[in-house]
Amino acid sequence: MHFNLADLFELVADKVPDRIALVAGNSRLTFAELDARANRLAHALIERGLQPGQWVGIQSYNRAEWMECFIGCFKARLVPVNINYRYVADELRYVFDNADLVALIYEAEFGSRVEQVIGDLPKLQTLVRLEDSTGATDSLDALDYEKLLAESSGSREFKERSAEDLYVLYTGGTTGMPKGVMWRAEDIFFAALGGGNYGGPGITTPEAIQDSVSENQVCSMAFAPLMHGNAQWTSMVTLFGGNKLVLNAQRKMDAVALWQLCDDEDINTLSIVGDAMARPLVDALRNRDAPASVYALVSGGAILSPAIKAEINEKMPNTMVMDSFGASETGANGAVDMTAKGPRFRMNESTTVIGDDLEVVAVGETGMLARRGHVPLGYYKDEGKTAATFVTAADGTRWAIPGDKAVREDDGTITVLGRGSQCINSGGEKIFPEEVESALKGHASVFDATVVGRSDERWGEHVCAVVQFREGTSANLEELAEHCANHIARYKLPRSLIVVDEMVRSPSGKPDYRWAKDLANQPA
């Protein structure tokens, strides 16, 4: 047996077959039931001629079938591909083609978009449709998901799998077209999925995962869409521990209902992505008590601002609030050091800061955050970006460099400054948007903020704040700058302000810097 994601899941399912594994809306599946349904999906795809190593898209909101397809693809040695359900036709055409999809499992609501592009994708021959509550119809020659499963075997009669089988995560980032980050199954398991012993030393044999299954089952909720790495990794860490996974199956944000779900399911750990998800959750606590069961609130993919953390700590004093740090190209790297000032992270032993010479920088020096050891193979069909992001030092060490500027501190922590690609250059001074955003969000009237560089004849760029105010409140540029001056140097203060009714963010909650940059630099 190998460190293969399907093999590992099967070992856990055999250890605790009758435990509840997955809750999504009205669906409740034990480990044995989830395993059997994933088997049926795997057999159905194999029977339709799909071969090991081929790629299968999943275009759906959070629902039990998403996880069935995800695990089922691994069982059949196929590669599941996360499809952003917000993409329009041109974006879908690009991703479907770039991923060389041979099959697509899509929710009925998205059939009309698939119709627009299917004629341009000769490789995409197998379509499977998930019915939903929209009543949407299409003219596609698609197979019905439930009928397909009913006609397929629930057995585990599959060919031997490998630690080399691929896990792929398509990441949109903030610039450029989406790209598929390719991981070996063994590498992603140890880099992002807990390694069979989350927070401790990883297991040394696949079979040992059974010994790491929690004696007393706990419950985690993946708040983000499963098309995002944060939710996928949370989900698999939860399942690999033999614990109960609850998916946020809402189509639109209802924070009050989500807190009620935490009460109903005794959710212990809530995984979110930054302020965009935390803010409405915190606001909803004004009219109800915090769920007593939630002992950890973890943000991954975007750092919580100090103002939001303070509000959470006030309303949920018995809940541990944590920022975790990771990237599609590095896996999970570490967590915020709660005793440190500013965004300092206590990283794992494989993560450090290196310079242009690919050597670890001295304490106090700025360089690029980098990880070695379990790292991806590269980007699918993009040798140039692969060569730029995954580099090999003179001593043979292979580093993954996702693009974050960082500083090594004397206490062993790492200060993450932000992505160099978003850095604002104002008169030669480098300003990282995250630092200014954090200061802005501490203002009582600011609901959300994104910071970008705006063209400036004198300085090249100046700091422009794109702000969404809390309902019924407002502030002018001078008031915001005065507030920020208490937290950041004056050269970093916003020099212009754009007020929006609603902030645009990615489905994962990350700032959409392209949108904000275009808005800031529109002709007067």
- Please give the backbone phi and psi of residue 446, each rounded to the nearest 5 degrees, phi first: -85, 120
pLDDT of residue 418: 72
Q: What average pLDDT does this structure show over 332-358?
A: 80
**Local confidence band at 394 (pLDDT 50, 70, 90 cut-offs):** very high
pLDDT, tens digit, 9 for 90 and up, residues 237-246? 999 999 999 9
Residue 490: half-sphere exposure toward Cβ, Cα within 13 Å? 2
At residue 147, φ and ψ (nearest 5 deg) are -65, -40
What length is written for the chain? 524
pLDDT tens-place string over residues 35-94:
999 999 999 999 999 999 999 999 999 999 999 999 999 999 999 999 989 888 888 999
* CA–CA separation, 375 and 386 (whole Å): 12
pLDDT at residue 355, as a whole number:
95
Band (pLDDT 50/70/90 cuts) for residue 304 is confident
Amino acid 486: pLDDT: 87
Contact 129, 106 (CB under 8 A): yes
Task: Give 56's DSSP letter.
Answer: E
Token reading at 481:
């700058």
Q: What is the spatial distance between Cα 414 and Cα 416, in angstroms, rounded to a whole number?
A: 6
The one-letter code for the residue type at 353 is V
32 pLDDT higher than 60 = yes
Q: What is the pLDDT of residue 237?
A: 96
Report the range of poorest mean pLDDT among 132-136, 184-188, 502-506.
502-506
The answer to whether the CB of 37 falls within 8 A of the CB of 150 is no
What confidence score (pLDDT) does residue 19 get?
Answer: 98
Over 60: is that where the pLDDT of 393 sits?
A: yes
Q: Report the run of H or E that residue 103 belongs to, with start and end.
A: strand 101-107
Average model confidence (pLDDT) for the chain?
92
- Asked whether 442 and 305 are in contact (CB, 8 A), the reply is yes
Task: Tell me the pLDDT band of 343, cut-offs 50, 70 and 90.
Answer: low
Domain map of the chain by residue range? 24-183, 340-373+380-422, 426-520
Q: Is the pLDDT of residue 175 over 60?
A: no
Does the pLDDT at position 339 exceed 50?
Answer: no
Of the listed ranges 10-24, 215-229, 298-312, the least confidently predicted one is 298-312
Residues 147 and 22: their CA atoms lie apart, in Å, by 21
Q: How would you class 240 by CB atoms within 10 Å of its CB: exposed for 0-12, middle for 13-18, buried for 19 or more?
A: buried
Angle at which helix 5-15 crosses helix 64-75, to 10 degrees, equals: 120
The whole-angstrom separation of Cα 152 and Cα 382 is 37
Q: Which CATH architecture has domain 24-183?
A: 3-Layer(aba) Sandwich (3.40)
What's the pLDDT tens digit per position in 307-326? 888 899 999 999 999 888 88
State the average pLDDT over residues 287-301: 92
Is it the case that residue 13 has pLDDT exceeding 80?
yes
The pTM for the full model equals 0.85
User: Residue 417's pLDDT is what?
Assistant: 78
What is the tens place of the pLDDT at every residue in 448-502? Answer: 999 999 998 778 889 999 999 999 999 999 999 999 998 887 889 999 999 999 9
Is pLDDT larger for residue 372 or for residue 1?
372
Q: Note the pLDDT of residue 11.
A: 98
Enumerate the H helices of 246-360 as residue ranges: 255-265, 274-284, 306-315
> Cα(99)–Cα(54) distance, rounded to whole angstroms?
9
Task: Assign 168 a pLDDT band (cuts: 50, 70, 90).
Answer: very high
Give me the CATH code for the 340-373+380-422 domain, please. 2.30.38.10
pLDDT digits (tens, 9 = 90+) for 226-236: 999 999 999 99
With vertex at residue 374, the alpha carbon angle to CA 66 and CA 205, rounded to the nearest 5 degrees, is: 80
Q: Which CATH architecture has domain 426-520?
A: 2-Layer Sandwich (3.30)
Looking at residue 457, its pLDDT comes to: 78
For 326-343, what is the mean pLDDT? 74
- Strand pairing class (20-24; 27-30): antiparallel
For residue 335, the model assigns a pLDDT of 84
Q: Is the separation of the CB atoms in 196 and 8 below 8 Å?
A: yes
Q: Is the pLDDT of residue 174 over 50?
A: no
State the Cα–Cα distance between residues 327 and 233, nearest whole angstrom: 11
Q: Is the pLDDT of residue 198 over 90?
A: no
The pLDDT confidence band at residue 146, using thresholds 50, 70 and 90, is very high
Instruction: Name the pLDDT band for 372 (thresholds 50, 70, 90).
Output: very high
Q: How far apart are CA 234 and CA 230, in angstroms?
A: 6
